[in-house]
Amino acid sequence: MPRLHYTTIVQERAVAADAVEVFDLGTNPLSLLNIVIRPLNETSTLANYARYLEMVGAFNQIRVLYKGQSVISASGRDLAALNYARSGIVPREANPDNTDNARRCCSLPILLGRFPYDPSSAFPRTNRGDLTIELDIDVADTGYDNFRYSIESVEILDASPSEYERKVTIAKTFNATGAQDTPLPVGNAMRGLLLFGTTGARGATPAPSWGSMQLLLNNQQHTMASMEWESSMLYSNLLGRQPPNHDAHQHAMEPVAGIETTQHFEVGSGGWEQYSFVDLDPTRNDMYSIQTAGASQFLLRCQAETADAVRLLPVERVAV
């Protein structure tokens, strides 16, 4: 019978300067990694208080590599957005204090399978040294400094996974508005696409980076004939996901009467509005996943409304 095994891969450590750090991971089937982030507030100016996306943004890039090949390759912010949109994960913070030089603590889970703790969907057993994690770290930014972190893992002993998930970022800059094609990987089942656009839908005349979108498999429309960026942000909520609005919940004290009031939620603000998730596996059983084995071409085509930088994080099922 499978057994869970929680272990610390990297003890809490200070990082004095921007760096790339590499560590070996374990050899047992791996369900998830949990990166625990512990910077100090730099809130001598209170408005600089760093929210969750800004804290995990300390990781410019996180890579999980198997024999040098990427299994996971994404920024901390992109992985946090994927956790929310696909799995409903917005981690609690141990110390959300805004006091200058208070030690904050939050976590960034990295899932290797479809669900945490699933013995059938996890990275399989490896040999020592074959599986590594590489972290590109920005140790100080607006709102935090004195960066510290640790890494824990959840292994599943005696599991025999039949699959794991591959998530490797595709980054590009649109050189013009209008039709733009982004090639997607082929060979595996595609379960979803996390999209980041520098320009979201805002202002009196919104012109989001991605605009309207469609998927083409071997030059034929597949699954998504037409979807607008604005509407694409809804679909994760159909699974009961509430917008990550806790980042902008504020209390204010009226200076004369001394009456506390609660301001409205800025729903999905604080950077979340730059993300959307196209869920190709909403039932979580591959009923609708796009099978790309044998395909010669798989594209995301959009009508870009602003020419700027975008990122795309595909979620692929890789059979073991």
- pLDDT tens per residue, range 131-182: 999 999 998 788 999 999 999 999 999 999 999 999 999 999 999 999 999 9
User: What is the CATH class of 3-162?
Assistant: mainly beta
Task: Please name the residues in contact with 86: beta carbons below 8 A apart, sequence gap of 6 or more.
Answer: 192, 194, 236, 277, 279, 315
- pLDDT tens per residue, range 188-224: 999 999 999 999 988 899 999 999 999 999 999 999 9
Single out the residue of 184, 188, 185 nearest to residue 289, CA to CA.
188
Does the domain formed by 169-319 have CATH 2.60.120.730? yes
Percentage of the chain beyond pLDDT 70 is 91
- Answer for the pair 202, 149: CB distance below 8 angstroms, yes or no: no
3-state secondary structure of 79: helix
The full set of domain ranges for the chain reads 3-162, 169-319
Query: H or E element: which one contains 27?
Result: none
CA distance 4 to 115: 14
CA distance 262 to 14: 37
Single out the residue of 316, 29, 319 nearest to residue 162, CA to CA.
319
- pLDDT tens per residue, range 66-115: 999 999 999 999 999 999 999 989 878 888 889 999 999 999 999 999 99
- Answer for the pair 163, 120: CB distance below 8 angstroms, yes or no: yes
pLDDT at 37 over 60: yes
Domains 3-162 and 169-319 in one fold? yes
